[in-house]
Structure 1
Amino acid sequence: MEPGGASQRSGRSAETCWRGHIVRQLKHRDRSQNAMFQDLIRFYTQLLEKTSLTKGRLSRCPSTYGGASLSSLLQQNSELKKTTGELAYQVVELQQQIGSKECVLQEQRARLQEEESRLTDAFDERQALQGRVEQVKVENRRQKTEYDALLERQSRVESRLREEKVQEEHKLEDMMYLKKQAAAHMNICNKRRSRARQATLQKELQTAAKSKVTVDSSSSAPSSRSTSPKADPQDESSRRAPACLFRSVSATSQRNRASFFPSLHLFERKRRSYSVSLEEDQLFPVGVCLSARVPARALQVLEAHEEGINAVRFSFGSDLLATGGTDRVIKVWEVRAGSLTHRTTLDGSTEGITCVEFDPTGRRILASSYDRSALLWQLDASVPKVTLTGHSRKVTAARFTCIPHQVVTGSQDRTVRLWDLHRAACVQQVEAGSYCTDLVCSESSIISGHYDSKIRVWDQRAVSCVQELPAQGRVTSLDLSSDRRQLLSCCRDDCLQLMDLRRWSNERVCFRAEGFKCGSDSTKAVISPDCSYLAAGSADGAVYIWNISTGSLETRLPDKHRASISAVSWSLTGEYVISVDKSRRAVLWSDI
């Protein structure tokens, strides 16, 4: 049965009850008032009857009465008239009272009608509210059903999440175990190859020592080298090095520039380790830039990777270039006559590459990865030689320190770690307090940029923070000048800041330009090798170059990138600038 019908029936029954009550009140009032006037009416009727009888008697037999009787009758008649008048007056008063009572009754009836209308409106409103209550109850039941379903779904999802976490931990443990086994196997193989090469070299040295060499004092150096093909390569390099390393620079300038490059090894030395073979068995000259060229045009535009490119770096000899992208590989390119030629591809990372760097010899490449590790490759090997694992989140920066066979890494897990490549193990770990975005290394310090808009300086010997420098925004990259005296920072406030490391007074020069915008939290900016210019890529796909001495924008290189530029690198010879973007494009720039 419908709720509305029940409400109507209840309203009708209430209305019938009110009407019956009013009728009963009226009947009661009629009975009570009629009883009040009943005696008066009966007495009045009796008087009228007596009066009529007396008049009849007098008219029928007037002689039978005496004078006294007539006078008494007249007196009685007058008294009756007087009584009748009083009774009539009382009747009039009672009629007036009845009229006033009827007015009151009419007012009460009007008020009763008003109350009945208000009661009807109240009943209608009550029915509407009851309908709304029913709707709310239905909606509450529906929402309760959905809530119960969501709770059940949440419990299932949480259980699945716990299972996935357990599986992830198991897989991570399995992966770490497999990596350890692979690293141990690789170390054994490298040790065997090293011993074989050492034995071969010893045999060659013994053969060379047994051979007879005739030295003519009048002969030139080339002829003596031709007569002894097994001469010591270090002697040969000592004769050739000054000419190829420093061109026509004076000895004094050579000594000064050598002090500016304390971390650059002019020649590789042969070293052996216990578990990791890190070989340095060839001479590698380092070029010196006296004056960097401001690029003016694009020499080559190529699609370097299958996905976006995150990092790029020239080697110290400027003849090689490495790019790393989200496609999980590092590609090595040869730079010849203003063009890039693909040389090799380095695999081994399970996720995207965030940072790449050559060692000073140009024979090894260090990279950081989203897979929470840092990897080290030999240039001629496609698989990593060393894998450094231990960070709990992605590694954003990995750099060679000035100490041989030691690297430093920074990660999103808010730690900075120092690694020994001999043992492939972490030797120091510090809590940085914020997500580390980039690192650079000087002679005795490690400088890190962070997401909390601070630059922290660490003592490399104790790995402790010695100073915090505030930045104007989240730091996206750091770069040291070639003389290790100036530090460049790029921040998300679209500003490049250059500070002198010899003055820790927070005095810095800001470089801005109209249209320049830092495109991401990992945008990399660089200082030119002659410390005269700054270069950075913008979100609009253009390369901006500032003049340090004037503080103004030197040039803007547009129209070659179709996405935000993620990194730039300047060759140490000062001849080339390379820029890469998120749309897998690399552009080689020069003034040629």
Structure 2
Amino acid sequence: MAAVTADARGVMTNRAPEPSGRSLAPGGGGWKGHIVRQLKHRDRSQQAMFQDLIRFYSQLLEKTSLAKGILSRSDRRPCADSSSVSTLQHRISQMKKTKGELAYQVLELQQQIKIKECVLEEQHARLLKEERRLEGAFGSRQELQELVKQVQEENGSLKVKYDALLEQQKGAESRLREEKVREGHLLDDMIHLKEQAAARMNHRNERKSRAREAKLQKELQTAARSKVNIDSSSSSASAKTENQDETSEQTQTRLFRSASATSPRIFSSIKGLFDRKRRGHSVCSLQEDHACPVRICLSARVPARALQVLEAHDQDINAVRFSSSSDLLATGGTDCVIKLWEVRAGTLTHRGSLHGSTEGITCIEFDHTGSRILAASYNKSALLWRLDDSVPKVTLTGHSNKVTASRFISSSSVATGSADRTLRLWDLQRAACVHLVDVVSYVSDLVCSENSIISGHFDRKIRVWDTRVMSCVQELPAQGKVTSLDLSSDHRQLLSCCRDDCLQLVDLRRWSSDRMCYRADGFKCGSDSTKAVISPDGDYLAAGSADGAVYVWNVSTGNLETRLPDKHSSSISAVSWSLSGEYVVSVDKSRRAVLWSDM
């Protein structure tokens, strides 16, 4: 800001202050030139404001000098009029008063100028600070622009890669469709070849049977033509009576025909011939139809302690089942293997493994003879093994999602349920599906009895199907999503396990009667495939909980009979009770199997 100063003559003039900091070149470009122009404008405006004050002050100085001259002259002329002197003094006092006021105004204006100079300095400092911030913002903007350019380049390269991958995906999808079509053709060809092989086998078996029949007929004719000498008198009398009954056309007298045609040896040969003809090369042989001895359980034992704890599989265990003889146990899990265990004297001994599934096992069942095992798998199929062969004898394919349950209906037919909401009936002799039923909900488990299949579903329904017409004849409500079903040994009671942590027992003879529900503090159904069982005598229920404990209920009282904790470290997936009533086995998601008993 301009400062007001007085020169040697006593005249006040305007002078621009020296700029602080770095010098500003007048007329400079950019912000510097702008500042110079603002300072010049301020000087002009302030100079205009103080022009009158400077003029009055100059006049006051002139009048003061004039008054001094008059006073000096009056001193030299003592004879002047007293009136003029008084007038002059009055003027002088007025001038002094005016001078004082002007001086005060000058001081006030100087103070205001100092304040404005301070404000200007502050604004100049702020301006420098903003300039530095602006320079930093310019640098950040350039960095961001470079980063944006780099990201755009990376996006461009990623877009190119994405387009290439999209083309590869389209090609892979087209190849997948072609492979699926080829797979369908190959499957049809394989089925056709199997049918041809079966036809050839049947033709060979028929030829062999005809050859055996012809040979047997020839043997019978040879035996009929042979003569037998009978020494007893009764035999001679019988021979004479027979000869008398013959027609007159017979010229040669014969004795008895050989008794070999009706001998037990011939009958046993015929029986063996037709037995072999019936068996052929089917997976359902006559030996398999002969039932193995089954222990009768008069009273099941409530398990009290763990006899053995072992790491049965390499991964989670999903299913466990005792054979009908109670001396063999099968376990299956996500490691795609079924392991067989011999149960002797309260211990489990590994007997062998059954391979062939490409994905995890979901369900296991022995047939009534204990010589075959049926298993459901995550690979959309069910597999059938014979215990003397580790390779599957039959593979039942056709489901579009994982198979959750597979059960024997008879020695030659099975039923399967799947997450694809279908039930299928299979003929094991042909390895073909004979019935397909669409269901409205996910099939979690099923059990089979005479002429009926009972299935559990995620829509909280239990459905009963008539296998003769394959139609639903009954629907039962459940407490929640059904995770498993089990039939009592006399096929009179049905047990269901639900996701609402409840076991439900239904008397199949009285569908409309009240259903019994079993709950317990601490019991929690751990998964959508948790399996619960009925004891072989029908007096107890057993199920595994998410807390790793086995819960056992008394059917008649509805109370919790016992709780078996501390042996499982994770949720129990399945429980099986031996048909002899002696043992209970529980398996969990941490690869552990525990053998329980009251011994």
Q: TM-score, normalised by structure 2?
A: 0.67
Unaligned runs of 5+ in 1: 63-69, 213-225, 237-267
Indicate yes or no: 2:264 matched with 1:228: yes
Separation in structure 2 between the aligned mates of residue 341 and residue 571 of structure 1, nearest angstrom = 16
Match of 1:311 among 299, 302, 319: 319
Deviation, structure 1 residue 354: 1.6
> Is the CA contact 2:323–2:366 (under 8 Å) kept in the aligned structure 1?
yes
Paired letter, 1:485: R
Structure 1's 269 and 547: CA in aligned 2 closer, same or farther, altered over 3 A? farther
Separation in structure 2 between the aligned mates of residue 539 and residue 269 of structure 1, nearest angstrom = 51
Q: Deviations over 1:137-169 (max 9, x none)?
A: 666666666666666665566555555555555
Structure 1's 166 and 16: CA in aligned 2 closer, same or farther, altered over 3 A? same
Q: Deviations over 1:349-387 (max 9, x none)?
A: 222222122344555533211111223345656544543
Match of 2:462 among 456, 461, 474: 456
Match of 2:441, SS? coil
Tell me which residue corresponds to 1:34.
54
Match of 2:357 among 349, 352, 362: 349
Indicate yes or no: 2:507 matched with 1:507: no
Match of 2:299, SS? coil
Match of 1:35, SS? helix
> Is the CA contact 1:325–1:354 (under 8 Å) kept in the aligned structure 2?
yes
Within a 5 Å distance, the mapping from 1:165-204 to structure 2 comes to 165-175=173-183, 177-193=185-201, 203=212
Tell me which residue corresponds to 2:4.
none
Structure 1's 432 and 286: CA in aligned 2 closer, same or farther, altered over 3 A? farther
Match of 2:531 among 495, 518, 524: 524
Q: TM-score, normalised by structure 1?
A: 0.68
> Is the CA contact 1:449–1:475 (under 8 Å) kept in the aligned structure 2?
yes
Match of 1:398, SS? strand
Q: Deviations over 1:37-82 (max 9, x none)?
A: 44554466556556655765x57xx8xxxxxxx7xx6655555444
Structure 1's 546 and 171: CA in aligned 2 closer, same or farther, altered over 3 A? farther
Tell me which residue corresponds to 2:574.
567
Separation in structure 2 between the aligned mates of residue 339 and residue 44 of structure 1, nearest angstrom = 135
> Is the CA contact 1:293–1:574 (under 8 Å) kept in the aligned structure 2?
yes
Tell me which residue corresponds to 2:401.
393
Q: When the two structures are aligned, how many residues end up with a matched partner?
A: 523
> Is the CA contact 2:479–2:500 (under 8 Å) kept in the aligned structure 1?
no
Indicate yes or no: 2:382 matched with 1:374: yes
Tell me which residue corresponds to 1:547.
554
> Is the CA contact 1:190–1:277 (under 8 Å) kept in the aligned structure 2?
no
Match of 1:432 among 430, 440, 448: 440
Structure 1's 168 and 528: CA in aligned 2 closer, same or farther, altered over 3 A? farther
> Is the CA contact 2:437–2:470 (under 8 Å) kept in the aligned structure 1?
no
Within a 5 Å distance, the mapping from 1:77-226 to structure 2 comes to 78-113=86-121, 115-116=123-124, 119=127, 162=170, 164-175=172-183, 177-193=185-201, 203=212, 207=216, 210=220
Separation in structure 2 between the aligned mates of residue 130 and residue 386 of structure 1, nearest angstrom = 77
Deviation, structure 1 residue 509: 1.8
Structure 1's 283 and 93: CA in aligned 2 closer, same or farther, altered over 3 A? closer
Within a 5 Å distance, the mapping from 1:255-334 to structure 2 comes to 279=285, 282-284=289-291, 287=294, 288-295=296-303, 308-316=316-324, 318=326, 321-331=329-339
Unaligned runs of 5+ in 2: 1-21, 23-28, 225-261
Paired letter, 1:574: G
Separation in structure 2 between the aligned mates of residue 431 and residue 397 of structure 1, nearest angstrom = 14
The share of aligned pairs that are identical, in percent, is 45
Structure 1's 116 and 135: CA in aligned 2 closer, same or farther, altered over 3 A? same
Separation in structure 2 between the aligned mates of residue 578 and residue 271 of structure 1, nearest angstrom = 39
Separation in structure 2 between the aligned mates of residue 206 and residue 290 of structure 1, nearest angstrom = 52
Paired letter, 1:228: P
Match of 1:313, SS? strand
Separation in structure 1 between the aligned mates of residue 146 and residue 344 of structure 2, nearest angstrom = 78
Match of 1:551, SS? coil
Deviation, structure 1 residue 527: 1.0
Separation in structure 2 between the aligned mates of residue 562 and residue 55 of structure 1, nearest angstrom = 129
Structure 1's 344 and 99: CA in aligned 2 closer, same or farther, altered over 3 A? closer
Structure 1's 186 and 478: CA in aligned 2 closer, same or farther, altered over 3 A? same
> Is the CA contact 2:336–2:360 (under 8 Å) kept in the aligned structure 1?
yes
Separation in structure 1 between the aligned mates of residue 598 and residue 370 of structure 2, nearest angstrom = 25
Structure 1's 426 and 77: CA in aligned 2 closer, same or farther, altered over 3 A? farther
Structure 1's 483 and 147: CA in aligned 2 closer, same or farther, altered over 3 A? farther
Deviation, structure 1 residue 480: 1.9
> Is the CA contact 1:315–1:321 (under 8 Å) kept in the aligned structure 2?
yes
Paired letter, 1:35: R
> Is the CA contact 2:394–2:431 (under 8 Å) kept in the aligned structure 1?
no
Deviation, structure 1 residue 399: 2.3
Match of 1:387, SS? strand
Paired letter, 2:541: L
Paired letter, 2:400: S
> Is the CA contact 2:326–2:580 (under 8 Å) kept in the aligned structure 1?
yes
Alpha-carbon RMSD: 5.1
Separation in structure 1 between the aligned mates of residue 491 and residue 171 of structure 2, nearest angstrom = 51
Structure 1's 201 and 276: CA in aligned 2 closer, same or farther, altered over 3 A? closer
